Structure 1
Amino acid sequence: MNQHALQRLRYAVTATAAAGLALTAFAPAPAEASAGPRPDVVQQRLDALVKDDGMPAALATVKGRDGRSRTYTAGVGDLATGARVPVDGQIRAGSNTKAFTAVVVLQLVAEGKVALDASVDTYLPGLLRGDGIDGRRTTVRQLLQHTSGLPDYMDAPALADFTTIQYRYFEPRELLDGALAQRARFAAGTSWEYSNTNYLVAGLLIQKVTGRPYGEEVTKRVIDRIGLRRTYVPAVGETAIREAHPHGYLRTAPGAPLVDYTAMDASMAWAAGAVVSTNSDLNAFYGALLTGRLLPAAQLAEMRTTVPAELFGPGVRYGLGIQSRPLSCGGLVWGHGGTSPGHRTRGGATEDGRAATVTVTTVPDAAAGQRVVDAVDAALCR
């Protein structure tokens, strides 16, 4: 979910949500698998996220230049029981979902069923109407690149307190109504601003064009196609995470008790953020994407045509459902990242086949959030 839209919930699901968790009594668990007999830089970064930044748990999977993948854990997987962090446990992947959604739309472009520069009204006539909002002047490309100016449905009053809607089901159109009740952020195509509403509409477009549910299309076209065995789109009414996973925690205000937000109805995120995955599967997904296993060359090139997105950090640029971030050692890492009420994930893959994904089990404040990003950089540049 986006950082701008949730600023009013600084202590919930935002890029500036407060952490300050007094969890240092829980010593970090040793890695289940590591690169050598002593902790390497990745393990050290995870240990610091737990000890210094108060993350209940931190997990990482790193694929090196040698093609080998190594998994790491630190902290505890369940604060109530003190259970260990499951190695490569399932996590709510948050806005990494947007990359999955964009791939499906771009596959439809390759099949001649969707045109990137056609208006949204071409496929969803009359859907986008509001104060400064007009689907006749908003293109599919603008949805995928966050240049549409659509306000974020996450700013709607119904989503102001996540603890009250943890198990509530939302229809996509209900969420969209929350966006259309707001004024457009800018005229379509004139600026850039991250908005979950763009991918809500992209999910509706997928359903209209294919005649099939969004989750089925993502499963068939992406998850099954490249064999992501531990990744799925939650079914309607499904609230638990299916396999071994670290618990995720939400702090709603400074000093407030942690809320276990592991189980939830992910319908409020849908095509913008509902996917459940693992660090290893996310590495595999971005690796497959960059090597052309999911999109023809023309559509992959469109996806990687970027605009500045400094909201996410210096030098970050946004394509069609994917970001590029400069590495300290040179080159770029391509991925997306994601935040759910209980999990924050950062990572991606490089042109030469490296990949790294790091997940923590609460939403950190801005400084700690940057250290999660730095851990990815350290993993890819070691």
Structure 2
Amino acid sequence: MTPDRPIFTHRLSASGSESPRADAGEIFPYWSFTKTVIAICALRMVQDGRLDLDAPLAGFDFSLRQLLDHTAGLPDYFTLPTYGAAVAQNEEPWSAEALRAATLAQGRLFAPGTGWSYSNLGYMVTRDLLEEVAGRSFSDLLQQMICAPLELRSITLAQTRRDFESLHWAAAKRYHPGWVYHGCLKGTAADAARLLQGLFEGALLDA
């Protein structure tokens, strides 16, 4: 999608402080940048001793690390022709169960740890795992682990078409974020930059 204005007009100084030329109010879909946020939450739970990064997950033959780095061998739902057709026709999202079954029906791509292939399904499984272990929604984990510590006020989880009505990109306003099964965050470009800065400076995870 091509925005009708520059995507990111906000500038940061070398110290991370804002310049007076910030344009901080425009809201964008974070798309797969959401995966970075899921990974941060997962690693925070590993850091806190609530998850093991390298042990096989219960009921699976792959580890959390392999889910996060796309080496679990899981297929991707983007390769389903029916998925692409349904999105193109602006249909309502399938149930999570139907999507998972259709994706897995394509078969495993390789044994865990023996290859690499990008998998949205892997991050869907990861989000489900985080919510199950934490007993809280991904939205709650996002606020607790990332937004509150860094004081990021624009970032939220989009779940309905109405949630996309505030986007700066007109072409995305009618898209249903439910088609992004691991979740699609939205927020300002400035808060996305602050999130990454907080990560790199050690405000979210230890070394």
Q: TM-score range by the shorter chain?
A: 0.7 to 0.9
Q: Deviations over 1:212-252 (max 9, x none)?
A: 222222222222232111110124x4533364x42342xxx
Provide the residue aligned with 1:177 in structure 2.
Answer: 101
Separation in 1, partners of 2:74, 2:29: 25
Provide the residue aligned with 1:264 in structure 2.
Answer: 175
Q: Does 1:57 align with 2:5?
A: yes
Provide the residue aligned with 2:84 in structure 1.
Answer: 160
Provide the residue aligned with 2:201 in structure 1.
Answer: 291
Separation in 2, partners of 1:216, 1:175: 24
Q: Deviations over 1:313-370 (max 9, x none)?
A: xxxxxxxxxxxxxxxxxxxxxxxxxxxxxxxxxxxxxxxxxxxxxxxxxxxxxxxxxx
Separation in 2, partners of 1:144, 1:109: 12
Change (3 A) 1:112 1:70: same
Separation in 1, partners of 2:181, 2:139: 9
Separation in 2, partners of 1:219, 1:268: 22
Separation in 1, partners of 2:40, 2:79: 26
Equivalences for residues 218-367 of structure 1 within 5 A: 218-235=142-159, 237=160, 239-241=162-164, 243=166, 245-249=167-171, 261-271=172-182, 273-297=183-207
Change (3 A) 1:239 1:159: farther
Asked if the contact 2:75/2:103 (under 8 Å) is kept, the reply is yes
Separation in 1, partners of 2:158, 2:28: 12
Amino acid of the residue matched to residue 49 of structure 2? G
Amino acid of the residue matched to residue 27 of structure 2? Q
Deviation at 1:156, TM superposition (A): 2.2
Which structure is higher in helix share? 2
Equivalences for residues 23-172 of structure 1 within 5 A: 56-60=4-8, 61-70=10-19, 88-120=25-57, 122=58, 125=59, 135=60, 137-161=61-85, 162-165=87-90, 168-172=92-96
Separation in 2, partners of 1:267, 1:225: 27
Which structure is higher in strand share? 1
Secondary structure, in 3 states, of the residue corresponding to 2:191? helix
Change (3 A) 1:219 1:174: farther
Change (3 A) 1:231 1:242: farther
Separation in 1, partners of 2:47, 2:101: 31
Q: Which runs of 5+ in 1 are unaligned?
A: 1-18, 20-53, 74-85, 126-134, 250-260, 298-382
Q: Deviations over 1:282-339 (max 9, x none)?
A: 0000000111111122xxxxxxxxxxxxxxxxxxxxxxxxxxxxxxxxxxxxxxxxxx
Asked if the contact 1:239/1:266 (under 8 Å) is kept, the reply is no
Q: Which runs of 5+ in 2 are unaligned?
A: none
Change (3 A) 1:58 1:111: same
Whose Rg is larger?
1
Scaled by the length of structure 1, the TM-score of the pair is: 0.49
**Aligned-residue identity in percent:** 25
Residues matched between the structures, number = 205
Secondary structure, in 3 states, of the residue corresponding to 1:280? helix
Secondary structure, in 3 states, of the residue corresponding to 1:240? helix
Asked if the contact 1:172/1:200 (under 8 Å) is kept, the reply is no
Separation in 2, partners of 1:171, 1:224: 31
Of residues 212, 217, 225 in structure 1, which corresponds to 2:136?
Answer: 212
The CA RMSD measured in Å over matched residues stands at: 2.4
Q: Does 1:196 align with 2:124?
A: no
Amino acid of the residue matched to residue 247 of structure 1? W
